[in-house]
Amino acid sequence: MSIAVQSNVKKWGNGNGIRLSKEMLLTCGLKEDEAIDIVVDNEKIVIKKHKQPSLIEQLQNYSGFYVGDEETKEWMDSNPMGEEIW
């Protein structure tokens, strides 16, 4: 189903906003306070339901080895300073 409406950008606090009708949200399966992704491409703004990647998708490019930044390396290489149990 496709819905097309004309609307206006309105001042909202320090920014601007648009309103989406209940019908629009129901059509794309969105609920109030649900996470969305907003993509700006030239003169288009695309709003999509946020899809949390599955664990398999998150690990897809994992090589099995993690190299952290200097602070992480320093922390990982440090000796216990308290009563940590190893």
- The confidence score (pLDDT) of residue 86 equals 62
CA distances from residue 21 to 36, 66, 85 in whole angstroms, order as listed: 15, 45, 56
**17-75 pLDDT, tens digit each:** 999 888 888 888 899 899 999 999 999 999 998 998 888 888 888 887 777 788 887 87
Q: How would you classify the pairing of strands 44-49 and 36-41?
A: antiparallel
- The confidence score (pLDDT) of residue 40 equals 95
Phi/psi of residue 50, each to 5°?
A: -70, 130
Given a cut of 80, whether residue 76 has pLDDT beyond it is no
